[in-house]
Amino acid sequence: MNGETWKQKDRQYIAGTYGRFNVCLAEGKNATCIDVDGKKYIDFGSGIGVNSLGYCDAGWVTAVTKQLGRLQHCSNLYYSTPDIELAHRLCGLTGYDKVFFANSGAEANECAIKAARKYSFDRYGGKRNKIITLVNSFHGRTVTTLSATGQDVFHQYFFPFTEGFEFVKANDMDALTAMLDDSVCGIMMELIQGEGGVVPLEREFVAGVAELCREKDVALIVDEVQTGVGRTGKLLACEHYGIRPDIVTLAKGLGGGLPIGAVLFREDYAKVMGTGTHGSTFGGNPVVCAGALEVLNRVADSDFLAEVEKKGIYIRDKLAGIKEIDGVDGLGLMLGVRLKTKQAADAAKACVANGLLILTAKTKLRLLPPLTITKEEIDQGIAVLADVLK
């Protein structure tokens, strides 16, 4: 079957919730992939920030397949070793005390929201249950994480939404302080708003929020689903901001291509999530965790992280030479490209037609390439982009 036939079948049998680009992928290696008709693409998106070690990295494939041949699933009623090893490594590298494993970013955020509410319930009673999030944020597609997402466009059709979320403009410390009354148990935010357009928060605001949360014993939840696991050139984007939240959520790049979500807890928050408070049939899957451990071991290396930073600078330098580009936002290999005259969606479509997979976020082109992307792959991708933006 050729690409057109596959696409027709997709439209016939798969629920039409996704607006897909006109490409049907078959295989890949690092940041290069091939569609079912044999056409080659450079992937500047790594899925959407998922294939952190690129397509089919040899070490990751070995870790996953080795585990696949031993034990593919183990109920959370029993102990198994890959999730323990991964949690041990995550805690060792980040300084957090305990981990809960979920299957996606939204699920990780659901768990974080529950933990913030449970902590507050245990200490202060049920009336202290609101969570403040930021305007223009994105936290997931479940009903509760949609409710937490600070964009009106996501608050349609699916009523009733979960109660207890309020939104404040990013970097507006006065508004946040005014909103933080005795009904608030948590503040949740991305440090670089990803889906919102690759918008980094201001340092003083983030420091102020962290300080306020500490003062009021309000949970600081940082959603690092997109920014975490080396994406910004540090293991956690929190390190750029010098903060230590109570709870950090991870997903996307942690699994290297298999579904995972992880919630990192400071001890006080881990403690309130006792037996029966939360769970997941698939959470902590041994195959997924074996792959994630390989990702983590590779990404946490300081030389690897330095390379991510260097590649980010290399890409920025190259982009600076393209006239149509107005500027670049973001950190490390999480980049938002502002265009002067063209629409990002049109440019992305033209890039795909010419062999470059690239994402958009609001009005910007968005780059989340594999952290392992080579200089040659960057050059090839930028050449397509430069051509499209001529």
Footprint of ligand PLP on this chain (CB under 6 A)? 104-106, 109, 138-140, 190, 194-195, 223, 225-226, 251
Active site residue 158: no
Q: How far is the CB of 49 from ligand PLP (least distance, A)?
A: 7
**CA–CA separation, 295 and 59 (whole Å):** 9
Pick the catalytic residue: 138, 165, 205, 265?
138
User: Which residue's beta carbon is nearest to the bound ligand PLP?
Assistant: 105
Encoding tokens for residue 333?
A: 């290999």
Q: Is 262 or 339 the residue whose CB approaches ligand PLP more closely?
A: 262
Q: Which is nearer to ligand PLP, 268 or 329 (CB)?
A: 329
Question: What is the C-alpha separation between 102 and 251, in angstroms, rounded?
Answer: 9
Q: How far is the CB of 38 from ligand PLP (least distance, A)?
A: 30
Residue corresponding to tokens 């698939």: 282
Q: Residue 138 catalytic?
A: yes
Nearest to 211 by CA among 243, 237, 238: 243
Nearest to 220 by CA among 107, 120, 88, 99: 120
The least distance separating ligand PLP from the CB of residue 227, rounded to whole angstroms, comes to: 7
Catalytic residue among 252, 265, 311, 364: 252
By beta-carbon proximity to ligand PLP, the closer residue of 140 and 312 is 140
Phi/psi region, residue 39 (left: phi>0; alpha: psi -120 to 50; beta: rest), is: beta
Q: Among 173, 216, 169, 176, which Cα is nearest to 193's?
A: 169
Give min distance, CB of 48 to ligand PLP, in A: 6
Q: Measured between alpha carbons, how far apart are the two ends of the chain, in Å? A: 35
Q: Which is nearer to ligand PLP, 6 or 161 (CB)?
A: 161
Output the smallest distance, CB 77 to ligand PLP, in A.
25
252 is known as an active-site residue? yes
Q: Which one, 223 or 246, has the nearer CB to ligand PLP?
A: 223
* CA neighbours closer than 13 Å in the CB half-sphere of residue 79: 4
Please spell the DSSP secondary structure of 8-37, one letter per residue.
HHHHHHS-TTS---S--EEEEEBTEEEETT
- The answer to whether 315 touches 382, Cβ cutoff 8 Å, is yes
Contact 81, 154 (CB under 8 A): no
Q: Of these residues, 35, 43, 57, 223, which one is catalytic?
A: 223
Q: Which is nearer to ligand PLP, 150 or 233 (CB)?
A: 150
CB of 262 to ligand PLP, least distance (A): 11
Residues identified as active-site: 138, 223, 252
